[in-house]
A and B are shown apart, each in its own frame.
Chain A
């Protein structure tokens, strides 16, 4: 009988290990001056250095070192006073020099940690994920295999190579093994990558776009029999490209490995590829015979020895930790957990904060950005901030707070701004969207409404207050929605002796 996720975890304990590759957003490549822009025409951002032409030599990008140190500091790592690059030797067509310049036994940052908070049925839980190392390396080029059915190198008719990516600075962040996560392993893995992404974003060192590959995760997973204390053989699922996929890859591997072990087979030490559609993994190249990369110190580069003073300056420049910032804002704005999560997941926390900083009420700011504006953005597959500026939204909210706009009117203003009719005040003027604040005008409408429904008016006079709703609705209709409903109610009830 095959095991499902729950039954697998009754017998086995998973151990995680996560390797995250981050493309830095430096203007130039790791070892040359070429541009790093995503999506340029193939092979237009190359030079003798990143093409590995004979005679060319690398020079380290100082900005990349700075970014890496910032990442290390944000992850509570110690920064090595002396670190070196090494050559990782293996042949592959998209690797120009047939070795990758990377850090090996002397990485720049070591021994850090990151707290990962996840929600569970038993409330929120925090797992401390220990970081083994953060090191620098260069990315490879990209192969496009044409023909054949699989899009892989085997069976392809020919391959195209784009070296624009070759030499883009990469930072690799490697965790120590993450034990004792039990059934939460998939959530911890996802939570770790999410927390890491938030930190990287707050440091402004990377675009952290998983879908563009600027943040990629390799998931290592092994199972051990509960209580045995012996680590099992691990598989390494490469290049998992979304948070959801990280979670699914862990779940899938737990079930796959458990079933293998349960039927008496061994887990093979190998790299695997994650399949988006099924959530399963398929084997890549086997690592049974560990590849010998013949590492040795890169003789073309001098060691990296960052100045202690510089490191301290960078430490001082670190932004507030995303998790702390979230707690602070949640408290200040008095937002319930669920709403807070929604804001974070929609990646609108920064936007809402900016709106609040312009004087808007936090609750209104949140509901406008997450509500109406997000809805329109979703329909059009754009970002909410592409539609309307923070200051326009802040201005509209201010008018609501002052009573100059109703929510209904405000929706029309937002619609107008999005339609590029002008600034909020221009839209208000053009569409004449002012709240009717003239009581005599309102009284006229009230009288009209009462005349149209005398029986309802009588009910109200007799003390049936809820019956007033229909009359208020009628007044609103008569004023084209531009009246303040609260004021109408006040005047109406007074008029009917209530």
Chain B
């Protein structure tokens, strides 16, 4: 697409309009988008076309459209985080990611659906209705970034931004047959990312190919003085790594704990077939043990709710967002209570309560304190593993996309879907999911996860790029070409 733009075979305006046509045709079924900024996008596209016509040097992605997860602030464009409490809130500032996208000439089509405040694995927790998986509209597109990944699978956008706190980029990528990358924590600025769990949140690229993801990664990554936790180091050259396609002699570790019980047969089969491809490419496979991973989920569900209980305290009706019950008689405290009661959904309330409890005096050491210790142990597991291999791999999610409604009344079953993705967030390292085939039981995509050490993101792109090329030649066509055609799709 970038090449076609560059060769002036198509203009940015035309490309943008084509994507809006596709959105108009299919989004009533998919519901990937919460808001379309057609006016803003076309203005941006015109600007890019003008610059290109004037012969200006443009970034490789200039003119390429993108879908933005609705958790990222974009100046004057509604940012809801999938919550009633922020309905109609228009932020007065751009997130750093959006600033970088705009600077690169990337066209922001609109804001995508998500689980409320990124809490969920199915996008069913959105206050504005669920997103449907383009592979099977009765199934979930993963979460929390289901809207972003579904928009890619439905060809509504070629690129998307997601955020990943426990797998919210990678698990949706896995169940929609797309690529999703959670960069190293601190690799991409969090300024303007509405926080769910500050020490775990990380924005990253979503795309249909590893190379597209790499190009987008290069645009959004880098040190930001506005984010104290961002890393002041050069961004690894992930584009060059993706293009290398040579993994001969690389040591790839398979994590013993991320397989077996709870993993769907077809998921394991496709994962093993991909491993066989890696062997064919000359990689050395090592089986490794990360014994503390079994505590990751429990620790995650203490740390993330604890931080969210504090992060979400600011949604109080005073300065922005929803206000309920302000009848000039009720006190500020009553209005705050009523607003939060009406504005937050069940899962968000569940986690706020959980986190408030875990941080309470007398419980702090047992809960938050212990969870932080587990985090250190998980980091040690990764350190030990990376001493023996270059990257680690596992299935991204234990199952393919499940049915909408199937797990919505069973939070624990829902939480288990993130069992393979959470350790990466706990350790702050990088993780990628790319499609590795269709499970034989249900013909739905399976995700292959590659994990690389902190600030060595290029390694997962190297392995991902090589594996993708091998699988593509095996399948003869991109995996999304196997998906059923959506009604009205162009």
Contact = CB atoms under 8 A, between A and B. Distances in A.
A63 to B, nearest CB: 15
B318 A55 contact: no
Nearest to B117: A54
Given A59-B226, A299-B199, A54 B91 contact: yes
B313 A99 contact: yes
Interface stretch (B8-16, B356-364, B473-481): B356-364
B320 A53 contact: yes
Contact of A53 (B92, B226, B336): B92
Interface in A174-225: none
Contact of B314 (A57, A96, A294, A299): A96
A161 B81 CA distance: 26
Contacts of B471: none
A56 B333 CA distance: 24
A55 B91 contact: yes
Contact of A89 (B191, B195, B310, B318): B310
A372 interface: no
B226 A93 contact: no
Contacts of A40: none
A56 B336 contact: no
B449 to A, nearest CB: 25
A159 B328 CA distance: 11
A97 B198 CA distance: 14
Interface string B184-215: 00000011111101110000000000000000
B135 interface: no
B313 A91 contact: yes
Contacts of B315: 54
Interface in B13-55: none
Given A93-B332, A99-B310, A299-B307, A57 B190 contact: yes
A57 B191 contact: yes
Contacts of B193: 55
A56 B229 contact: no
A310 interface: no
A54 B368 CA distance: 24
Contacts of B309: 89, 294
Interface string B261-298: 00000000000000000000000000000000000000
A56 B193 CA distance: 8
B144 interface: no
A300 interface: yes
A159 B356 CA distance: 28
A59 B356 CA distance: 25
Interface string B206-230: 0000000000000000000111110
A139 B237 CA distance: 43
B316 interface: yes
Interface string B358-389: 01110010001000000000000000000000
Interface string B395-434: 0000000000000000000000000000000000000000
A89 B72 contact: no
Contacts of A93: 316, 318, 332, 336
A399 B210 CA distance: 87
B86 A54 contact: yes
A302 interface: yes
Q: Which residue, of A52, A56, A301, A302, has the highest number of chain B Cβ atoms within 10 A? A: A56
A51 B321 CA distance: 13
B149 interface: no
Interface string B223-257: 00111110000000000000000000000000000
Interface string A266-309: 00000000000000000000000000101110011110000000
A292 B360 contact: yes
Interface string B83-106: 000100101110100000000000
Nearest to B307: A299
B168 interface: no
A294 B93 contact: no
Interface string A43-56: 00000100111111
A31 to B, nearest CB: 9
A311 interface: no
Contacts of A295: 359, 364
Q: Which residue, of A60, A93, A294, has the highest number of chain B Cβ atoms within 10 A? A: A294
Q: Which residue, of A93, A96, A158, has the highest number of chain B Cβ atoms within 10 A? A: A93
A57 B227 contact: yes
B79 interface: yes
B171 interface: no
B319 interface: yes
A113 interface: no
Interface of A: 48, 51-60, 87, 89, 91, 93, 96-99, 153, 158-159, 161, 292, 294-296, 299-302
Given A54-B314, A59-B227, A161-B318, 19 more contacts: A48-B91, A51-B319, A52-B319, A53-B91, A54-B73, A54-B81, A54-B86, A54-B91, A56-B93, A57-B228, A89-B359, A91-B336, A93-B316, A97-B314, A98-B313, A294-B309, A294-B359, A296-B310, A300-B195
20 contacts: A48-B91, A52-B319, A54-B73, A54-B89, A54-B315, A55-B72, A56-B191, A57-B191, A89-B310, A91-B316, A93-B318, A96-B314, A97-B313, A98-B316, A161-B318, A294-B309, A296-B364, A300-B195, A300-B198, A302-B228
**A-B pairs with the 4 shortest C-beta distances?**
A98-B313, A294-B359, A299-B198, A299-B199
